[in-house]
Amino acid sequence: CVFLADEFRSSEIWLVGMDFTSPVVGYFSKKRISNLKLKKKKLSIGKHLIEILAKKSNSLLFNVTTFKFNSLINGVIDYKLK
């Protein structure tokens, strides 16, 4: 979806709840993950792809996270919720 928004030249792209580096995988989505190693690999790849896009995109990318889970993404503006 992020790449699609960029392709349509969105001025801003907001990533909400994308806690790529949280130690607790699935805290808000899935309570039971059958293959944790695979899930962490997919999150790592997703973060890497967004960092690549952030370098070349004309869109402003914002990552909305909580103070509990701090997931910094290089090239993306960090926006904290209390």
pLDDT at 12: 93
pLDDT of 73 reads 78
pLDDT beyond 80 at 82: no
pTM: 0.76
Tens digit of each residue's pLDDT (9 = 90 or more) over 16-72: 877 777 766 666 666 677 788 888 888 889 889 999 999 999 999 988 876 665 667
Cα separation, 8 vs 33, in Å, equals: 34
